[in-house]
Amino acid sequence: MRSLNRRSFFRAGAGIAGAFGMQNLLAAVEDNSTPYHRPKLKITDVKSANIVGFHVRIYTDQGLYGDGEGVDAVSGGPSIVQGFRYSLVGQSPLNIEGIWERIRTSGVFGGAQAGQYVATLTAVEIALWDLAGKALNLPIYQLMGGKLRDRIRVYCDCGTDDRNDPQAKAYINQVIENNFTMTKIDVDDAADPARFDRVNWTANNAEIDHMIDKVQFMRESLPKNIELAVDMHARYDLGTAKRVAKEMEPFRLVWLEEPVPPENIDAMKNVRDSTHTPICCGENIYMRWGFRELFEKQAVDIIMPDIQKCGGLMEGKKIADMAHAYYIPIAPHSQASPIGAMATAHMLATVPNFLVVEWHWSHPATRWERWKNFVKEGDIIEKGYIAVPDKPGIGVEMNEEYLRKLPGVNWFPA
């Protein structure tokens, strides 16, 4: 009954969230409640787990917990998250902006502007949003200002791009039969026999011919209404990037991704200025300060921050809003499980300049099987879209019974 009382209290506070925004939410709830009903929700513990990826769970004194996920830059995440304990335990999980800023600024001398520190903080931030939503009985999109769309367009990373691949037809048919409206391929090939050097990434004519053939093959195999993007994985030098971008122009790609490494924004702009092929980058850039120069120099056509890596849901929304000021759409990179993917979907529902989000679990078949069973709600992608749920928090719950049986799973150890 204690839980019901708390929920009914927070239901009364639901309107307050929309009116004041998250920063002032805690103060508003406290101002509008009596001392007898004032929320006493406090964080009691934070744990992390390896569940196919890196997951964080934040616990409270009222039995509610929140789940978050970080990706890519999470090696060392379990020890980093324990370093965040002193900023979390005893705090109200509703004070998300305050907790985030305290952890970020306290880590400045430890590299808190990028990498593992920010990716781990990202997982914590998402867990706080899940917790706040559960405590207030509201979906995350509602806490972030309300939704502009009910469903989120997803593109399927294809898994093949080689006309000699015996699996090619099956992978391409998966994209078509599951009603995806877009797919992506990788044209960088470290094992290309035409390469002269194992280290340097200046592509020769034969390598560029191979890249064009991959795109040609995909365009021949896909119906016209399925769009195509191409990833170069931040490997190549400037001259190669410009040559490839030019060669790709007839294929009318949605974008060419990371044609050069992301840290030299002038080089990225040089590529963009040289071609009609739209240029996209962002999965290796962190927080709004990382993206600032990209916008100011107008070095890209599309950004693709990873919302499980760039700083979190609110940071992703701030980056999206900055992009909006420059008329740049956001098309997030994503490797996340359905927990991270659905958290991302809530945020993307609230920004006007959302284009499409990645999905990378279609291959091999065992990975897709895990995707379908990861949360109790089953496969959250239907006909190429994720419907944003109205349940509290992220709105999907891990299928513990299934996940505990997977190899390598380390379920929130004490």
Question: What is the contact surface with Mg ion in residues (CB under 5 A)?
Answer: 231, 257
Q: Are strands 357-359 and 381-382 parallel, antiparallel or unpaired?
A: unpaired
Query: What would the DSSP string read from start to end of 357-398?
Result: EEE---SSHHHHHHHHHSBTT---EETTEEEPP-SSBTS--B
What is the rounded distance in angstroms from the CA atom of residue 261 to the CA atom of residue 105? 27
Whole-angstrom CA distances from 188 to 37, 167, 328, 355 are 59, 19, 26, 24
Min CB(395)–Mg ion separation in Å: 27
Nearer to Mg ion, 53 or 93 (CB): 53
Min CB(258)–Mg ion separation in Å: 6
Min CB(372)–Mg ion separation in Å: 24
Min CB(267)–Mg ion separation in Å: 17
Nearer to Mg ion, 67 or 231 (CB): 231
Nearer to Mg ion, 161 or 257 (CB): 257
Do the beta carbons of residue 350 and residue 145 sit within 8 Å? Answer: yes
What is the rounded distance in angstroms from the CA atom of residue 396 to the CA atom of residue 28? 28
Nearer to Mg ion, 39 or 259 (CB): 259
Nearer to Mg ion, 189 or 231 (CB): 231
Nearer to Mg ion, 69 or 231 (CB): 231
Residue nearest to Mg ion (CB): 231
Task: Give the relative orientation of helices 313-325 and 338-348 as an angle to the nearest 10 degrees.
Answer: 40
Min CB(5)–Mg ion separation in Å: 48
Min CB(396)–Mg ion separation in Å: 25
Whole-angstrom CA distances from 199 to 190, 203, 232 are 9, 11, 15
Min CB(280)–Mg ion separation in Å: 9
- 């365009």: which residue's tokens? 219
Q: What is the dihedral of CA 300, 303, 305, 307, to 10 degrees?
A: 170
Do the beta carbons of residue 349 and residue 387 sit within 8 Å? Answer: no
Min CB(132)–Mg ion separation in Å: 31
Burial of 235 (0-12, 13-18, 19+ CB in 10 A): middle
3-state secondary structure of 40: coil
Nearer to Mg ion, 189 or 257 (CB): 257
Nearer to Mg ion, 67 or 161 (CB): 161
